[in-house]
């Protein structure tokens, strides 16, 4: 179970990326029954560090020895990639992974993980502007610039800035379940999940951003996931021709009605698998898949796992 978290900073740290880690793991929310982490900010380069904001500095009493206690070490961005990194930081990160701890990078913090040799043979995320350089520097790494974050064993990497929130909430969700992650997200006034082109084990997201013309149809679809729908029927509900509706739907959601509905059905089924004891067959019916075989097929396509395996993984973790 995740209890001890440390953020390790290099000179030139980005305050926002540091703030993301502090906001998720560093605040006491015990009044809401949420976990409290033993959290520390660790300096890799002296007791006082500069930031990329002129005149703003960060000081902390904690040195690299504090990392040896951490269950999770977060590495926020600190400017772009460097030529060299402090050897003590790299050694501490390697030791952490060797003893079973996890490491998490936000934006260009991934270069620190790469310098420690932790990306070799792994898939990772990074801000799109750094994707090419990361691939050149670490050719044994599979860089995916199209996703918000990647969870590859003990190494979690995220893209630029706010994607660090997604990655941190993902870690919380894996350790404590969707209810805890969603509660933290509500306190932060952010969605508990944003689609990023990668299958993630997440609870249903908060309501989608407002759509000008298809918002009411989206709300109806979400309330009636088990209903059999057609583009023609949805278009009639929106008082449009099917062709116009399909075009506006894609413009305002970035996807087709079928794919949007399928994603919502998967998300709803995930939540029922996590939070109820209903049979897979019952959940398949409530989610609109019709039967367990069809739901299993869609789970494998969307998440790379089966409904039963998903339930075993997250029901156990949430109970812990």
Structure confidence by residue, pLDDT tens digits, 292-310? 999 999 998 888 788 998 8
In this prediction, residue 194 has a pLDDT band, given cuts at 50, 70 and 90, of: low
Percent of the chain whose predicted confidence (pLDDT) is above 90: 64
| Confidence check: pLDDT of 63 > 70 | yes
Q: What pLDDT, on the 0 to 100 scale, is given for residue 21? A: 97
Which tokens hold the place of 145? 């610039």
Ranges 80-94, 138-152, 267-281, most confident: 80-94
Question: Is residue 101 a contact partner of residue 70, using CB atoms and an 8 Å limit?
Answer: yes
Cα–Cα distance measured from residue 267 to residue 294, given in angstroms and rounded to the nearest whole number = 15
| Confidence check: pLDDT of 195 > 80 | no
Where in the chain do CATH 1.10.10.60 domains reside? 207-320
Cα distances (angstroms) measured from residue 199 to each of 10, 287, 310: 32, 18, 13
**What secondary structure, in 3-state letters, does 176-241 show?**
HCHHHHHHHHHHHCCCCCCCCCCCCCCCCCCCCCCCCCCHHHHHHHHHCCCCCCCHHHHHHHCCCC
- Report, as an integer, the average pLDDT of 129-138: 92
Q: What pLDDT, on the 0 to 100 scale, is given for residue 211? A: 57
DSSP E strand boundaries for the chain: 4-9, 38-43, 48-50, 57-59, 72-75, 102-106, 123-125, 142-144, 149-152, 155-158
| Confidence check: pLDDT of 253 > 90 | no
Beta strands 4-9 and 123-125: pairing type?
unpaired
Q: What pLDDT, on the 0 to 100 scale, is given for residue 219? A: 85
Cα–Cα distance measured from residue 206 to residue 67, given in angstroms and rounded to the nearest whole number = 34
Cα–Cα distance measured from residue 241 to residue 245, given in angstroms and rounded to the nearest whole number = 6
Global pTM reads: 0.64
Q: Is the CATH number of domain 207-320 1.10.10.60?
A: yes
Cα–Cα distance measured from residue 304 to residue 298, given in angstroms and rounded to the nearest whole number = 9
Where in the chain do CATH 3.40.50.880 domains reside? 4-188
Longest dimension (CA), the chain: 65
Question: Is residue 150 a contact partner of residue 124, using CB atoms and an 8 Å limit?
Answer: yes
- Report, as an integer, the average pLDDT of 125-135: 90
Cα–Cα distance measured from residue 125 to residue 162, given in angstroms and rounded to the nearest whole number = 13
| Confidence check: pLDDT of 205 > 50 | no
Write down the architecture of domain 4-188 according to CATH: 3-Layer(aba) Sandwich (3.40)
């Amino acid at each position: 179970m995740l209890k001890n978290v440390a953020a390790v900073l290099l000179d030139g740290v980005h305050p926002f990326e540091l703030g993301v880690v502090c906001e998720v793991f560093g605040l006491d929310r015990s009044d809401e029954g949420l976990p409290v982490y033993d959290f520390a900010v660790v300096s890799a380069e002296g007791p006082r560090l500069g930031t990329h904001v002129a005149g703003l500095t960060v000081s902390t009493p904690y040195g690299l020895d504090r990392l040896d206690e951490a269950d999770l070490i977060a590495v926020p961005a600190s400017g772009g990639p460097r030529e060299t990194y402090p050897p003590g930081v790299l050694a501490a990160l390697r030791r952490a992974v060797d003893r079973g701890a996890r490491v998490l990078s936000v934006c260009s913090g991934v270069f620190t993980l790469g310098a420690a040799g932790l990306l070799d043979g792994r898939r990772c995320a990074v801000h799109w502007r750094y994707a090419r350089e990361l691939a050149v520097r670490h050719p044994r790494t599979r860089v995916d610039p199209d996703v918000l974050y990647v969870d590859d064993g003990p190494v979690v990497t995220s893209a630029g800035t706010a994607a660090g929130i997604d990655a941190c909430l993902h870690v919380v969700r894996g350790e404590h379940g969707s209810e805890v992650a969603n509660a933290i997200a509500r306190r932060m006034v952010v969605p508990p999940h944003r689609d990023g082109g990668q299958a993630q084990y997440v609870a249903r997201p908060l309501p989608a951003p407002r759509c000008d013309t298809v918002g009411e149809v989206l709300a109806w679809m979400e309330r009636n996931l088990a209903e059999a729908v057609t583009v023609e029927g949805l278009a009639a509900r929106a008082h449009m021709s099917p062709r116009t509706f399909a075009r506006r739907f894609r413009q305002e959601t970035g996807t087709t009605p079928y794919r949007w509905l399928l994603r919502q059905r998967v998300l709803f089924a995930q939540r029922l698998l996590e939070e109820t004891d209903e049979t897979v067959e019952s959940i398949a019916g409530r989610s609109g898949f019709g039967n367990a075989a069809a739901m299993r097929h869609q789970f494998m396509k969307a998440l790379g796992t089966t409904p039963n395996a998903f339930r075993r993984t997250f029901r156990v973790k949430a109970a812990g």
